[in-house]
């Protein structure tokens, strides 16, 4: 198969498997999505979805969040990990949203990346899922599968994102971002990988990857 045919097969398979695509992190608006994505760094969506209701019950807006202390925020979010950095980031970015953005999450990638504890991936997720702006945030699942499928070299996330944006149609970026994540979890995990279930990799996968499984 040519690279173009492989990309087409991957897209068509993902669309067949996930015609409706749930967003993994529970949220109600751009602010709660921003906080949830920030909390998900080096944690799991399941764990974050257990903690965010506790946090948002006390503070679901920047105005409410700054009424809490950093320590109060930390005590709630501690189970998701990295709580010292994340609690400080949540408190400080809430202040910045009020001081510079009228209490609203900016619809601008650079402005998002300037917020404390918000990196490129978090900002890209918010742009895609809150505002519908074409983005291709790369998480561990996407990074792994882009390598397994022979679409990127697997060395750097920045390169993986560039390759994804080059190979996939822009109008499909936001859907594919989520579809690949779900596929990675259900069919092509890092551990306990069953190639017979991983229909995409089995069909188009990098030969060096497939040989390791034999």
In the set 139, 159, 162, 165, the catalytic residue is 139
pTM tops 0.85? yes
Q: Which pLDDT band holds residue 214 (cuts at 50, 70, 90)? A: low
Structure tokens at 174: 């936001």
Buried b (16+ CB within 10 A) or exposed e, 27-44: beebbbbbbbbbbbbebe
| Domain end call among 108, 131, 154 | 131
**pLDDT score recorded for residue 208:** 83
Q: Is 194 a catalytic residue?
A: no
189: left (phi over 0), alpha (psi -120 to 50) or beta: beta
The dihedral through the CA atoms of 87, 93, 99, 105 has a sign that is: negative
Concerning whether 121 is annotated as a catalytic residue, the answer is yes
Does position 161 have pLDDT exceeding 90, yes or no? Answer: yes
CATH classification at residue 124: 1.10.340.30
First to last CA, the chain: 21
- CATH label of the domain that carries residue 9: 1.10.1670.10
Asked whether the predicted pLDDT for residue 151 surpasses 80, the reply is: yes
Contact 201, 161 (CB under 8 A): no
Report how far residue 92's alpha carbon sits from residue 62's, in angstroms, rounded to the nearest whole number: 10
Q: Specify whether 142 is located in the same domain as 52.
A: no
Q: Which of 6, 86, 121, 198 is catalytic?
A: 121
127 and 36: one domain? Answer: yes
Question: Above 80 in pLDDT, residue 211?
Answer: no
Domain containing residue 116:
30-131
Task: Identify which of 147, 154, 115 has the alpha carbon closest to the alpha carbon of residue 37.
Answer: 115
The residue written with tokens 């998480």 in the block is: 139
Element (H, E) at 203: helix 199-204
């Amino acid at each position: 198969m040519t690279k173009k045919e492989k990309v087409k097969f991957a897209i068509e398979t993902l669309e067949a498997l996930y015609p409706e695509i749930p967003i993994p992190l529970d949220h109600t608006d751009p602010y709660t999505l921003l906080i949830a994505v920030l909390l998900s760094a080096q944690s799991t969506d399941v764990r974050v979805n257990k903690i965010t209701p506790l946090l948002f019950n006390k503070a679901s807006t920047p105005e409410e969040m700054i009424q809490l202390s950093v320590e109060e925020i930390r005590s709630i979010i501690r189970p998701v990990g990295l709580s010292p950095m994340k609690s400080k980031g949540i408190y400080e970015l809430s202040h910045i949203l009020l001081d510079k953005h009228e209490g609203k999450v900016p619809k601008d990638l650079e402005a998002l990346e300037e917020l404390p504890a918000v990196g490129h991936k978090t900002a890209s997720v918010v742009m895609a899922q809150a505002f519908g702006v074409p983005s291709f945030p790369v998480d561990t699942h996407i990074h792994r599968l882009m390598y397994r499928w022979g679409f990127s070299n697997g060395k750097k996330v920045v390169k993986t994102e560039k390759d994804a944006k080059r190979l996939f149609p822009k109008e499909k970026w936001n859907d594919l971002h989520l579809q690949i994540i779900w596929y990675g979890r259900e069919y092509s995990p890092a551990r306990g990988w069953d190639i017979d279930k991983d229909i995409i990799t089995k069909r188009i996968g990098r030969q060096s990857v497939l040989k390791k499984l034999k």
